[in-house]
């Protein structure tokens, strides 16, 4: 007859194994990376304390910030201000390995700059579409200031000593309506015969100013936004 197994010995061995396993589990839990440790870092020089990785500076306690004198030895960046650089081509775990996020094929995955800035694959790019839009778009050809031109011979019918501007000329039918809100006085084809008139406009050419002042008149410059008289 074979010998019977010792029940007490087997039970003791099982209990010892369970106790050892429980000790290992508790030790692993104590050193686990998921266990919060040192969540608060305190500065020895002041009462200022803030959470590590607290990138929201507005929620950090800065009540004791001005109690500490900053020197070259204790200057440090704000928590979360310095981000670790993204290391590409160093393995596939972060999704930036091998092809470094540029894909496997295609023009944009090749070395060197594949296209110039603003290139849209052959279609009309944005910087060439904007000048064609209705209104006042920005870009080349739309930065020049456009004036409505008033010729000096249009002022010949003005009475001596009167004040002349575009509105008065339009009421007297000396000029036609304009699609521009700012007006510039230029030399016309005819002779300037008016004497002693005060001309109001947003701009004057040098020759037109000399002609008006040479005949005893005066040039008054208007504001381009308020139409108020800026200078005489």
pLDDT at 223: 92
Mean pLDDT of the chain: 79
| Mean pLDDT, residues 7-12 | 70
CA distance 138 to 126: 11
- Could you give the CA distance from residue 149 to residue 203 in angstroms, rounded to a whole number? 10
Residues 159-182, mean pLDDT to the nearest whole number: 91
> Mean pLDDT throughout 20-41?
59
Give the pLDDT confidence score for residue 59 in this predicted structure. 57
The band of 38, judged by pLDDT with boundaries at 50, 70 and 90, is very low
Between 45 and 71, name the one with better pLDDT. 71
pLDDT band at 61; cut points 50, 70, 90: low
Task: Give percent of the chain above pLDDT 70.
Answer: 75
pLDDT of amino acid 199: 94
- So what's the pLDDT on residue 136? 66
CB 78 within 8 A of CB 85: no
pLDDT at 200 over 90: yes
Half-sphere exposure of 12 (CA within 13 A, CB side): 4
Whether 146 has a pLDDT exceeding 50, the answer reads yes
Q: 198, 205, 202: which is closest to 160 by C-alpha?
A: 198
Q: How far is CA 55 from the centre of its chain?
A: 22
**Res 34: pLDDT:** 46
pLDDT, mean of residues 135-145: 69
Residue 147 pLDDT greater than 50, yes or no: yes
3 state SS for 96-139: CCCCCCCCCCCHHHCCCCCCCCCCCCCCCCHHHHHHHCCCCCCC
Confidence band of 78 (pLDDT split at 50, 70, 90): confident
Cα–Cα distance for residue pair 99/110, rounded to 1 Å? 10
Which residue would you say has higher pLDDT here, 176 or 66?
176
Q: Give per-residue pLDDT as tens, 93-123.
A: 777 888 888 888 998 899 988 899 999 999 9
pLDDT, mean of residues 139-143? 65
Mean pLDDT for 12-19 is 82
Pairing assessment for the beta strands 229-231 and 218-222 based on DSSP bridges: antiparallel
């Amino acid at each position: 007859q074979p010998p019977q197994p010792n029940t007490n010995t087997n039970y003791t061995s099982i209990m010892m194994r369970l106790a050892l396993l429980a000790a290992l589990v508790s030790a692993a839990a104590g050193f686990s990376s998921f266990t919060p440790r040192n969540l608060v870092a305190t500065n020895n020089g002041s009462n200022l304390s803030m959470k590590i990785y607290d990138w929201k500076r507005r929620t950090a306690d800065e009540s004791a910030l001005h109690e500490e004198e900053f020197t070259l030895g204790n200057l440090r960046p704000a928590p979360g201000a310095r981000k670790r650089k993204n290391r590409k081509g160093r393995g596939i775990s972060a999704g930036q390995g091998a092809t470094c996020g540029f894909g496997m094929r295609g023009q944009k995955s090749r070395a060197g700059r594949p296209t110039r800035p603003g290139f849209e694959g052959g279609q009309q790019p944005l910087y060439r579409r904007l000048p064609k839009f209705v209104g006042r778009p920005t870009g080349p050809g739309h930065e020049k200031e456009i004036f409505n031109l008033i010729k000096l011979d249009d002022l010949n019918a003005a009475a001596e000593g009167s004040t002349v501007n575009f509105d008065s000329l339009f009421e007297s039918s000396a000029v036609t309506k304009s699609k521009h809100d700012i007006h510039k006085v230029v030399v016309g084809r005819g002779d300037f015969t008016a004497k002693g008139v005060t001309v109001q406009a947003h701009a004057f050419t040098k020759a037109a100013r000399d002609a008006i002042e040479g005949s005893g008149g005066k040039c008054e410059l208007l504001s381009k936004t308020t139409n108020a008289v800026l200078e005489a």
